Amino acid sequence: MLPVTAGGWNTYPIFFSLTILIGATVPLALAYREGYLTKNLVVAVGWVVVAGVLGAKLYGSVERGFTFGSIWGELVAGYRAPGAILGGIAALSSVRLLFGIRGWRVADLLAPGVALGMVAFRTGCFLSGCCAGTRCDLPWAVRFPVNSVVWNRHAKAGLIDTEVYSLPVHPLQLYFGLWSLLVAVLLLRYRRNHPREGQVFLLYLALAGAGKFALENLRYGYAAHLQYAALASCALAGIAFFWRQPRAPTLGRPASVGGGGSH
């Protein structure tokens, strides 16, 4: 629960970098295994990942009212997962035009990597003490050390004074991380059934939205708009998932990654 490693390194940028690495390499590994890894696909995946990172930063900046700290502080913190999803979707809408690859196919490759990457992202949040849960007395409740994000919030609210640790709270970051791990496993197993193009990605959006909707009530500093947005994402993705079922080509080993279908 300490925000630094034994060597004094801030853990958040370490795990954020790991999130990007996982999100970029897992889809390429899947494409290689399934026989259609191409140079254009590598560039397309990189394009979407970069757009996701920029979207995460922009979303965080909007939430903070465009108040900025140091350059280093902005580089290593202040990223928000909903912004990453929005930025990624925006980039996916352009990959057919830019790279000649169906957007749905790229999205289906990215979905398991995004879910696995979120496990690393939430671990970084936990170690840094951000995105923490509300107070609780459950056996697995955690306390964060002095000067952590949680400790500072509790001190500011007058809940603690000179205590070395915060009050016990839900390890919300780990709840999110475990849910993301489960979603990643489900998506990888679902891919084996050769579903219709787009369904893996839509299933990810539906499951991620459902998990976020269920868990947001436990966030310290609850924000209703996050929960409503998660519910909308779950509902819309679920509808699209079933709508695409008879209308799209199945995933498999295509003769041409970019040919046929619509994105």
What's the chain look like in SS3?
CCCECCCCCEHHHHHHHHHHHHHHHHHHHHHHHHCCCCHHHHHHHHHHHHHHHHHHHHHHHHHCCCCCCCHHHHHHCCCCHHHHHHHHHHHHCCHHHHHCCCHHHHHHHHHHHHHHHHHHHHHHHHHHCCCCECECCCCCCECCECCCHHHHHHHHCCCCCCCCECCCECCHHHHHHHHHHHHHHHHHHHHCCCCECCHHHHHHHHHHHHHHHHHHHHECCCCHHHHHHHHHHHHHHHHHHHHHCCCCCECCCCCCCCCCCCC
Instruction: Provide the residue ranges of all domains of the chain, joining segments of one domain with +.
Output: 11-134+170-244
Place of tokens 């490693």: 5
Place of tokens 């999130």: 19
**Across-strand partners of 142?**
169
Q: What is residue 135's predicted lDDT score, i.e. its pLDDT?
A: 93
Q: What is residue 259's predicted lDDT score, i.e. its pLDDT?
A: 42
Yes or no: say if 77 and 63 are a contact pair by the CB < 8 Å rule: no
Yes or no: say if 211 and 258 are a contact pair by the CB < 8 Å rule: no
CA dihedral of 129, 142, 184, 112, whole degrees rounded to 10: 10
- In tens digits, what is the pLDDT along the chain, a chain of 263 residues? 444 444 445 677 889 899 999 999 999 999 999 888 899 999 999 999 999 999 988 888 887 676 766 666 666 567 777 888 899 999 999 999 999 999 999 999 999 999 999 999 999 888 888 888 999 999 999 998 888 888 888 898 888 887 888 999 999 999 999 999 999 999 999 998 888 899 999 999 999 999 999 999 999 888 788 888 899 999 999 999 988 876 656 665 544 444 433 33
**Whole-prediction pTM value?**
0.85
Q: What is residue 22's predicted lDDT score, i.e. its pLDDT?
A: 96
Q: What is residue 253's predicted lDDT score, i.e. its pLDDT?
A: 53
d(CA 259, CA 102): 8
Largest CA-CA distance found in the chain, in angstroms, rounded: 66
d(CA 105, CA 218): 35
Q: What is residue 63's predicted lDDT score, i.e. its pLDDT?
A: 73
